[in-house]
Chains A and B, each alone.
Chain A
Amino acid sequence: MKKFNEQATAGLYEKGLITENQFEEIKSYRSLNIFSINTELKLFLYLSVLLFTSGIGILIYENIDSIGHIAILSVLLVVIAVCFFYCFKNSKGFQKTETKFEHPVLEYLVLLANILTCIFIGYLQFQYKPFGEHYGLATLIPTTVSFFCAYYFDNRSVLTIAITGLAAYVGLSVTPQDLLHINDFYASQNLSYSAVMLGVLLILWTIYSNRIGLKTHFGLVFLTFALHIISISSISNLTGYVVTWMLFAVVLAASTYYFYKVSYAYKAMSLYVFMIVYGYIGANIVLFRIFGDVDFSDIWELLVLLLPAYFVGSIVMFVILIKNFHKKITA
Chain B
Amino acid sequence: MTAVTRIDSRFKALAGEGRAALVTFITAGDPDYETSLAILKALPKAGADIVELGVPFTDAMADGPPIQAASLRALAGGQSLKKTIAMVRAFREGDNTTPIVLMGYYNPIYIYGVETFLKDAKEAGVDGLIVVDLPPEEDEELCLPAMKAGINFIRLSTPTTDDKRLPAVLKNTSGFVYYVSIAGVSGAATPEASKVTEAVARIKRHTALPIAVGFGLKTPEHARAIASGADGAVVGSALVEAVRTSLDEQGRATAGTVKAVTDLVTKLSEGVRSARRQAAE
Q: Do A and B come from one complex?
A: no
Which A residues form the contact surface with B (CB < 8 A)?
none
